[in-house]
Amino acid sequence: MALTKIQIVEQIHNELGFPKRKSVEVVETLLEILKRTMENKEDVLISGFGKFRINEKKARRGRNPATGDDLMLDPRRVVTFKCSGKLREKINLGGSSSAQERDN
């Protein structure tokens, strides 16, 4: 199951006590800032979470899997994500109490 935008809004509303409208505004503003930054070919580094990086892919030869025909793929930009060491540790330990004790 994936965490959705509306679930993030709900959690902000419940955990911080913001009105629902303000919670939506916070989430939408954050996402717009991230999109605008990446549109400008800038990386986004969120300390303790990870880094979103824009990578340039060159034109390359590919193959249509349905027909097997060769074709040229256009150059494009892709977004990659590399999680921080802290996040990786939490994921690998599954949020166990030993990870929480080290963080304190």
Examine the domain organization and report whether 68 and 96 are in the same domain: yes
Domain range for 31 is 1-40
The pLDDT assigned to 96 comes to 57
Q: Three-class SS of residue 6? A: helix
Strand-strand pairing, 70-73 and 60-63: antiparallel
The pLDDT assigned to 56 comes to 93
The pLDDT assigned to 28 comes to 98
The pLDDT assigned to 80 comes to 97
Examine the domain organization and report whether 23 and 59 are in the same domain: no
Q: Into how many domains does the chain fold?
A: 2
Distance CA 29, CA 19 (A): 15
CATH of residue 60's domain is 4.10.520.10
Examine the domain organization and report whether 59 and 17 are in the same domain: no
Instruction: Show the tokens assigned to 37.
Output: 């930054």
Cα-based distances in Å from 88 to 3, 16, 84: 18, 26, 6
Examine the domain organization and report whether 57 and 103 are in the same domain: yes
Examine the domain organization and report whether 23 and 67 are in the same domain: no
| pLDDT tens, per residue, the chain with 104 residues | 999 999 999 999 999 999 999 999 999 999 999 999 999 999 999 999 999 999 999 999 999 999 999 999 999 999 999 999 999 999 998 755 544 455 54
The pLDDT assigned to 100 comes to 46
The pLDDT assigned to 95 comes to 57
Examine the domain organization and report whether 23 and 72 are in the same domain: no
Cβ count near 25 (within 10 Å):
13
